[in-house]
Amino acid sequence: MIIGNLVAGAASLVALLAASDAVRAQSAAPASTVTLDEVVIEGEPATEAEARRRLAATAGGTAVIDASQNIGKANVSIADTLNGVPGVVAVPFLGGNDQPKIHIRGSGLQSNPTERGLLMLQDGLPINRADGSYIVGLIDARQADVIEVFRGYTANRLGAQTLGGAINFISPTGSRAPGVEVGVEGGSFGHLVATARAGARQGDADIFGQISTSRRDGYRDWNDSERTAAAVNAGAKLSDNVSTRLFFGYTDLAFEVPGPLSRQLYELDPRQAAPGAIPGVNAGPNVLRDRPRRDTEQVRLGSRTTGTFGANTLDLAIGYAWTDDSFRFPIGTGYRDTTGGDTTVSLRYAYQPDTGAALPLFEATALYVVGASERNYFINDRSAKGALFGANDLDADTLSLNAGFNIPLAPTLTVSPAVTYAHASRDSTDTYAAARRPRLAYNGTSWLTPTVAATDTSFSRSYDAVSPSLGLTYQLAPNSLVFTALSRSFEAPTFDDLLEASGGGVNASPTGFLTPDLKAETATTLEAGWRGTAGRLGWDVVAYYSWLDNELIRTTDGNVAATINATDTTHFGVELGGTLKLTDRLSARLAYTYQDFRFDRDPLYGDNRIAGAPRHFIVAALRYAVTAPWWIEAEVQWTLDDVPVDNANTLYSDAFAVVNVRTNWAATPSFDIYGEVRNLFDADYIGATLTLGRAANAYQAAFLPGDGRAFYAGTKVRF
């Protein structure tokens, strides 16, 4: 198999990169110079410190996470990595290996699973497909050196325009991470991870490669998962002014979906897979029969070339991704196979006459993503791929143009006006040739195979928007900054919103498709914040209020999903992060997110809370350094109140708290041993839920149990 050979080649490359010399740091971040003999900050940050400096000067919610913040953590997932950032809510969802539900400021909150609402980037190139959707499990947080989080409009300069913003996973490079590192860890529920990475530099060129493979049996029945991810990047200095970097990435992802349970079944046995309809006990899919799972392969290629000419920086990035995605849903939706490619072109210009300034005086970016795919729908015939009942060619493109200034009005006062233009198209061509669609249905005693007339599912949708923003920052003191900003955001629907299998049920395949003529979601957001440090204390607090028009609300009954536009909604939130060094050995950190997302005089839901958003979400930790190389940390993840499962606010999941304890011992500068106990007190809790319009009954299957107590241990060795 070609892909298998690519993985083997990547693994061999990692092994061959052992010979390397220590060098100074450089970056694979968007628009960074990749100069190898010295670090020159011309546009984007070249180190974690420079990233923090730039983002700290931005009038909006931002954060930087570096790889050291994952030291000592076992079973590192995207959720573990991002939950320390206030405003980011990431909770376990499908129950597989690293399949969380992520949202920022409620953007994409109701996706089942998470697949829109954020721009996900790898080295500045989108992981999202051209229609805006993404597969969260394709991201391996272990492979990132630095992660940049841009909440809200601050991501516009990267090509995002959604209410939520963007997350950029920046890879290590051969100059920044020379040498070889290998690691292995294992633990409860069949958890096993192996990693290898190596970097080297030769003259004006460097190369870095890494590979990770993981598998897990899972806490619940029908919960196996596995992932292999390999990546290589190579950089070179072409002249005194021009440098370039090439990227390759491959991910093979597979996981089983144990499905939602009713409250009664969850309380009886949270580890069971969804058993199907049981009168008066459970109303939901039959996982034991239909065996839902997802298998995805993706290959990514890209390049980034940067030219620096005095105060001017020009950056060009080109990327291509091929994705083969097979999602076996329960019978109510069936098999959905999607195969296709997406091409990205990103261009950025920055003018920075003051090289000591954290932000350029002027910046303009363009991001264009175009893609085409084939999507085929098959009946799920008791877990076997049955008859074809739908086929479409899907074509999409998304263009984002952004230009803005950072004008110093005084040494401590900066005004940042900007404007973004967006265009998006979504075209579907129905290629299903038959006049009727096959069906499969169980009437309680036997399986029936009726047919229904096939209606055309072709459509052409186009969306445009102009989104201005205005930010203002004031430096209260050298390490204290306040800001305020007013901005607009825009998000076009994805194909998963625009083309929905419909008419199915727990024992019946779909009767056809919905092709709703959805509008784009827009919002106006006012935010203000204060960040800084004083002695042993660091803080970052942001409050925002968003007025949304046509919010994309996606709900499900556990078998089929549908997306609508809500006329008016509001999102209010507070994002509070803090660090405190209590003593020389004892330190604390806090990430607190408050959310109040509501409909506004909606004809169906009045002023109800929007389903799926915890009002209070806390991640807090205390760390004690026993000795210089050995520390112990206790962490609590706490949802303080009940969370509505449906928009009608008739069904709720319970508040919960989970305590984790971890430790890391740097036995030598090149050898670490670590261990962790997750859910120390073995609490039964509902980690996430489906989002419903209105729960049909009290035994609606909507609850997704979190993992029980788990033990993990691992080691890393560097050469």
Sign of the Cα pseudo-torsion (696, 103, 76, 583, in order): negative
Return the structure tokens found at 504: 């199915």
Between CA 171 and CA 124 the distance in angstroms is: 10
- Tell me the sheet residues that pair with 75: none
What is the per-residue pLDDT for 93?
78
Per the CB < 8 A criterion, the answer to whether 193 and 143 are in contact is no
**pLDDT tens digits, residue range 148-198?**
999 999 999 999 989 999 999 999 999 989 999 999 999 999 999 999 999
Residues in the chain: 719
Q: Provide CB contacts within 8 A for 445, sequence distance 6+.
A: none
Q: What is the three-class DSSP state of 268?
A: helix
Q: Residue 525: what residue type?
A: T
Helix (H, G, I), strand (E, B) or coil at 157: helix
CA distance 441 to 559: 14
What is d(CA 164, CA 154) in angstroms, rounded to the nearest whole number? 10
Separation between Cα atoms, residue 630 and residue 607, nearest integer Å: 51
Q: Which of 62, 58, 101, 153 is nearest to 546 (CA)?
A: 153
Q: What pLDDT score does 111 carry?
A: 80
Q: Which of 423, 312, 305 is nearest to 364 (CA)?
A: 312
Across the strands, what pairs with 465?
Answer: 422
Instruction: Tell me phi and psi for residue 78, to 5 degrees.
Output: -60, -40
Provide the CB-side half-sphere exposure for 475 (13 A, CA).
14
Query: Cβ(207)–Cβ(233) under 8 Å?
Result: yes
Residues 476, 482, 483, 484: what is their CA dihedral angle, to the nearest 10 degrees? -120
State which H helix or E strand residue 16 sits in.
helix 2-16
pLDDT number for residue 557: 77
pLDDT along the chain (719 residues), means of 10: 40 36 36 38 50 90 89 83 91 71 91 83 94 91 92 94 94 93 96 96 96 94 95 96 97 94 96 95 96 96 96 97 97 97 97 93 98 98 97 98 97 97 98 97 94 97 98 96 98 96 96 96 98 96 98 86 94 98 97 98 96 96 96 96 96 96 95 96 93 92 94 96
CA-wise closest residue to 532 among 475, 591, 479, 483: 479
pTM exceeding the 0.85 threshold for the entire prediction: yes
User: What's the rounded Cα separation, in Å, for the pair 695 and 611?
Assistant: 11
345-395 per-position pLDDT tens digit: 999 999 999 988 999 999 999 999 999 999 999 999 999 999 999 999 999
